Amino acid sequence: MQYGEGGNAFGNGSYSFSNPVFASLAGYSSMALLKMLGMSTYTMIQRFCTGNFPTPEDDIYKKLMNKLGLSSSIIGNKNDKVERARNNHLNDLENIIPFVLIGLFYVGTRPKFDRALWHFQIFLISRILHTIAYQVFFLCYFVFV
Amino acid sequence: MQYGEGGNAFGNGSYSFSNPVFASLAGYSSMALLKMLGMSTYTMIQRFCTGNFPTPEDDIYKKLMNKLGLSSSIIGNKNDKVERARNNHLNDLENIIPFVLIGLFYVGTRPKFDRALWHFQIFLISRILHTIAYQVFFLCYFVFV
Amino acid sequence: MQYGEGGNAFGNGSYSFSNPVFASLAGYSSMALLKMLGMSTYTMIQRFCTGNFPTPEDDIYKKLMNKLGLSSSIIGNKNDKVERARNNHLNDLENIIPFVLIGLFYVGTRPKFDRALWHFQIFLISRILHTIAYQVFFLCYFVFV
């Protein structure tokens, strides 16, 4: 591969949306980051489902839920489902952020468009599958083993 | 909005400090990141105030504090104030970093300057207010409720 | 220092690999990020060495280790060595990611090459020394004190 020539005909401006590699990095990175930000909402949902809140201020929600008859107040400092969601969020931070940053430098090396697209797509799909496996299909372990 | 034309007259170089949108992103991002890095110092202060340190090496500080007569050694693995500072730091990581990264891609779409500035300012202010609310004003809850 | 002129002769394209400051930022950032990603592997190794796994699915590894005669199954929810590796990973996240992001903006200000290189090198070396000190030499504390 000829460095700086192989990828595309854009001599200047590898960091602009006229460069398809940068545009696809922007798209896939944003999707991965959106997925990561979605983990906050997922953690919130898990907290409400299990009645597990981190701070004493949140007791107001417990009272609300008790009034509504949703007495899901298994009071305990650590809940397995909530911790699972939080660990997933941290794992996303540890993997998606370096991907975006290294991706930015990778675009600068002017890679071939097809090859770059492959990397971005495989990364995004693997992150989504990781989340599904970690949050949903771990149950299969208890069913089949 | 005309894509690529609406925002400014800078045909080339959306990623340079001659582009006011990029310059303001750089400014507000740096301020947000600085605030985030400041959480380390804040956690340190909370650790010294409560005498709660994470590793056995840090016992040296406890001895020092005892010598100085500051016997604030409520020995315990988890301290509420320290955990609160740490959670705040993690929350900053989960929100400020994606903001900067998505902001970088956002600048590439050449948004209108006013509109972009709005986003950046509202984000920075909301993060600062979040920290103040989480670290200081939660006390109001115990006073008023 | 003349702003925008002092650093180098590259009038356009401060964000391209023809700019030596950007190229060195890319190199040192990638090394720092690689070191950070290596913490995952290190945590894994510590988990296998101590037989401490985070989720119930991982019991399969414990069984495997017992079959192989490596009965290192000190069952407990928190292990000191594993927590140390995890804390180190989080500390890297809190420091290396802001470094890369602020570094990107710093390149835009067209700093002098020598000076920028200094910053990047000192940062990388200090992060590596921090990890070594936190993971290995903390033992010295128990030996000498």
Mark A30-58 as b/e (b = at least 16 C-beta within 10 Å).
bebbebbbebeebbeebbeebbbbeeebe
Close Cβ partners of C116 (under 8 Å, ≥ 6 residues apart)? C7, C21, C24, C25, C106, C107
Other residues' Cβ atoms within 10 Å of the Cβ of residue B142: 9
Residues C127, C132, C137, CA angle at the centre, nearest 5°? 140
Query: Which pLDDT score is estimated for B142?
Result: 60
Residue A139 DSSP code: H
> Which residues of A are less than 8 Å from B138 in CB distance?
55, 57
**Closest approach of A1 to chain B, Cα-based (Å):** 27
How far apart CA A20 and CA A128 sit, in angstroms, is 23
Return the residue of C nearest to A81 by Cα: C55
Token duo for residue B39? 């959480």
**Closest approach of B69 to chain A, Cα-based (Å):** 32
DSSP codes joined into one string, A65-131: HHHTT-------S--HHHHHHHHHHHHHHHHHHHHHHHHHHHHHT---HHHHHHHHHHHHHHHHHHH
Q: Determine the residue type at B76.
A: G
Query: Which pLDDT score is estimated for A135?
Result: 86
Residue A58 DSSP code: G
Least CB-CB distance to C94: which of B26, B93, B101?
B93
Query: Which pLDDT score is estimated for C64?
Result: 78
Other residues' Cβ atoms within 10 Å of the Cβ of residue A143: 7
Task: Tally the C-alpha atoms within 13 A of residue C26's C-alpha that lie toward its C-beta.
Answer: 19
Query: Which pLDDT score is estimated for C70?
Result: 63
Average pLDDT of span C97-109: 93
In the predicted model, what is the mean pLDDT of chain C? 81
Query: Which pLDDT score is estimated for A97?
Result: 95
How far apart CA A15 and CA A19 sit, in angstroms, is 7
Close Cβ partners of C65 (under 8 Å, ≥ 6 residues apart)? C48, C51, C71, C72, C73
Q: Does pLDDT of C12 surpass 80? A: no
Query: Which pLDDT score is estimated for C14?
Result: 82
Interface of A to B at Cβ within 8 Å reads 12-13, 15-17, 22, 26, 29-30, 33, 36-37, 40, 54-57, 60, 89-90, 93, 97, 100-101, 104
* Predicted structure pTM score: 0.83
For residue B62, what pLDDT band results from cuts at 50, 70 and 90? confident
Least confident of B76-80, B127-131, C20-24, C83-87: B76-80
Query: Which pLDDT score is estimated for B64?
Result: 78
With beta carbons less than 8 A apart as the criterion, state whether B127 and A43 touch.
no
Helix (H) / strand (E) element for B31: namely helix B20-50
Least CB-CB distance to B101: which of A56, A57, A100?
A100
CA distances from B49 to B41, B64, B68, B134, C87 (A): 12, 13, 13, 18, 21
Answer yes or no: do A97 and B97 touch at CB < 8 A.
yes
How far apart CA A29 and CA B103 sit, in angstroms, is 12
**Closest approach of C17 to chain A, Cα-based (Å):** 6
Answer yes or no: do C54 and A94 touch at CB < 8 A.
no
Query: Which pLDDT score is estimated for B10?
Result: 42
DSSP 3-state assignment of C84? helix
pLDDT in tens, B102-139: 999 999 888 999 999 999 999 999 999 999 988 887 66
Answer yes or no: do B102 and A56 touch at CB < 8 A.
no
**Closest approach of B21 to chain A, Cα-based (Å):** 14
- pLDDT per residue of chain A (145 residues) written in tens, 0 to 9: 334 433 334 445 688 888 899 999 999 999 999 999 999 999 988 888 877 777 777 777 777 777 776 655 555 456 778 888 999 999 999 999 999 999 999 998 889 999 999 999 999 999 999 999 888 876 666 665 5
Average pLDDT of span C9-27: 79
Q: Does pLDDT of B141 surpass 80? A: no
Query: Which pLDDT score is estimated for A116?
Result: 93
> Which residues of A are less than 8 Å from B97 in CB distance?
93, 97
